[in-house]
Structure 1
Amino acid sequence: MPNSLFGPLDPAPEAGYVDAPPRVGFFTDTSVCIGCKACEVACKEWNAIPDTGFNLLGQSYDNTGGLSANSWRHVAFIEQPRASTGAGTDVPGAFAGLPVGPSVSAQTAVVASTTTVPTGTEPGITPAVDALAAAATIGTSSSGSSGTQFLGMPGSDLPGRTIDAPRSDFRWLMMSNVCKHCTHAGCLDVCPTGALFRTEFGTVVVQDDICNGCGYCIPACPYGVIDRREDDGRAWKCTMCYDRIGDGLRPACATACPTESIQYGELDELRERAAARVAALHEQGVESARLYGHDPSDGVGGDGAFFLLLDEPEVYGLPPDPVVATRDLPQMWKKAGLAALTMAAAVVVSFSGRRR
């Protein structure tokens, strides 16, 4: 297994687990996300998370706005307007307050070959309705065959499919965001009570009965994931359904996702699958497809939850170069120790000179 800046890619053995199982994680393929919010609902349902209100933000179909103590999964709706000239340049400010990034041509679409929609259910998870599955498979191949199912976003027509007056003045980028379960988690480094701990699966979990609400973990997270609830002050975030995966079940969000945009499994296998998916999209002409959070040599040692994006990370509200705040602590302590030894040696030399 490759090494990161912080040691082995799998952090569970470093946390003291003997014969730890393979590290698990999320691969979220935003190219097939249809914005159904089934993951948000399943997450709240299984984890008994309080509601965050039912009023739209007034800007888009996004009614939660971001990750918070009461939103452990957040589906972002990023509306990108196109220039009226048809050129590949977006119009800043056309959607106030929303990020604007490079556009795509009206013919560019995301194609997911042999995509299967899960039909089984698992305990405690409400299955996605058939209408969502139908929305995910909204076309057939140009030859009329139903063997290939196409998936895409509004604003881009699908290959081999012609509709009346297709929308080409904007596109939607949809993304289900979540805690990254970093290889080197700053929140773990700064927690004074041990409320945050590394599981045998390599994930990071908050024990709410131990958290004292100090809030140190909040600025330590380079992604702004962790948040405190106003009513009790304790920190909360995604646990990757630690109680479910320990019993051999998939996390609630991955179980409910009708298009398999959220994929759960062993991290090494997910990385291979993601690389193949990006290569396939590039072959289909979607050059903007790229992975985010998969690199073990980045500023957090790689993420346990990584993403396939269709634009720059900033467009999705993600930091382009995340760095864990405690990354340099080991070197700082070494330098401080060396400085202390040097000072002590200087004091000894000084006193011995005086005695002479």
Structure 2
Amino acid sequence: MTTVEGSDRFRLIEADSPEQARARFARDVRAGLTATPKYLPCRYFYDDEGCRLFQAICELPEYYLTRTELAILKARVGEILRQLPPAVVLVELGSGDARKTRVLIEALLQRQASLLYVPVDISRTALVESARDLLRAYPGLTVTAVAAEYDDGLPYIAEIAGGRAGAGRPPLLVLWLGSSIGNFDPPDAVAFLRRVRPIMTPADAFLVGMDLHKDRAVLEPAYDDAQGVTARFNRNLLARINRELGGRFDVRAFRHRAFYNEARRRIEMHLVSERDQRVAVEALGLEVAFTAGEAVHTENSYKYTFEDIDAITGAAGFRLAGQWLDERRYFSVNLLRPAG
């Protein structure tokens, strides 16, 4: 752990050094490009350029997720907070630009004089920029940010909040918004929720956004927009390999493909090779062969029925304490508490 910058209201902790992060990226890229079928982990979308493109995606007319979840939070924040203790520490997994988090921060600061916010995100830049904006807007806010992948960030949460679960620390409100849970295959989602469970006490709450199963006519345009922003976002993964690992990808030789896999209730995103080609990745000492039409699987985004939500959260040791939907029933915001 390295604390790389700080002030009286802001501290940034990096779980990995830049060298460790680059080594992990290289290891995962090698594993994905030498697998059959090929894949690349979606967490590597979010370098600085990827974050910029994702913010643009969130503004697209086809991408209903962000504005729908934000509308639910704005309409229901009072009901949500009435189920919480009078003062909490706010934790967020995958905080990004924290645009939706502002709704909760504002409401919490109306109930408590000061608030500690602990965002965990893979993007150092996103953490620094969002913290700067939030601290300027909210004088009662203190931010301790953790630049880490989800699992690497979990050990810091209780420590930052003031102690281990059950050791007299303040109650936590943990956020996992944006249906980020949908990037996990269901067994992996259960496994991750089980890893979150031990840091929580009965006084804590876990607010999870989960996108709902709906018609492919709504789903597919959200991941394949008319302006091609999502296509650029997807291809940026290859551009990142070029920038950071000495890759020789011609990103124009791969097309974006997104479709709804009805049987598995998930959107799949792929990069499809337009021709037979061989691509060197110098930092890996690797040359990768692609055939025309061969796909590299880059992301899943699962969509849930209400039965799915009950099954996943229950299997992970949580009970559903509250659930809020939009009028079209496109999206759900779910308040979970540790069971038992």
Normalising to structure 1: TM-score of the pair?
Answer: 0.26
**Structure with the larger RCO, 1 or 2 (CA within 8 Å, 6+ apart):** 1
TM-score (structure 2 length as normaliser): 0.26
Q: Which of the two has greater helix per residue?
A: 2
Select the structure that is richer in strand.
2
Radius of gyration: which is bigger?
1
